[in-house]
Amino acid sequence: MEVSSIVNHEELTRTRERLYEEIRSLSKGELNRKPAEREAWSIGQICHHLILSEGSFADAIDYGLERGKKIPAEAKPIERALDRSIKTEAPSTSIPDPGPFQVTQLMEGLETSRVYFNNVVNKVDDEQQLTDISVKHPKFGRLSLKQWIELLPMHETRHIEQIQELKTNRS
């Protein structure tokens, strides 16, 4: 099944382009400068987190498809991912490396993770699988595959806003 029939491909593309716009012109110093807060990530680390997260989203969807076990899940309020006043800890699988990073390295990683995500979603052969199959999410609990897919651009938007805030605070 073609990914565009399942995923809002325009939204994914638009969100990723917004991310590229935010990081494209950053110097290595700007990309790797950590904020004053002890536990805060640099912009490079945020981007690395997005690469790892997209891979984890794809892995979760792939696991659900491979297992094929129908376990329905109630729709969760995934739009809460956009509320940056709600702080969450990243799962260990998506904690970024300390760096340093380069813009080209991160953009290539983001492209690779998107290709992997799209390849996994393209395995869906029946749209009903998206609502019939669910996989546990570390924050929201059991999510349908459909909600896993819908959550990806929301998660990326959350971190784009974080990057914008970091850039504004540095000027």
DSSP β-bridge partners for residue 134: 144
Render 89-136 in DSSP notation, one character per residue: PPPGGGPPP-----HHHHHHHHHHHHHHHHHHHTT---TTHHHH-EEE
The predicted pLDDT at position 14 comes to: 96
* Whole-number Å distance between alpha carbons of 102 and 141: 34
Phi, psi of 51 (to 5 degrees): -60, -50
Does the pLDDT of residue 130 top 60, yes or no?
yes
Query: The domain at 3-33+40-170 falls in which architecture?
Result: Up-down Bundle (1.20)
Percent of the chain's residues with pLDDT above 90? 84
Quote the pTM value.
0.94
* Whole-number Å distance between alpha carbons of 129 and 62: 12
What is the pairing mode between strands 141-144 and 134-137?
antiparallel
The predicted pLDDT at position 4 comes to: 46
Does the pLDDT of residue 116 top 80, yes or no?
yes
- For residue 8, the SS3 value is coil
Render 72-94 in DSSP notation, one character per residue: ------GGGGG-TTS--PPPGGG
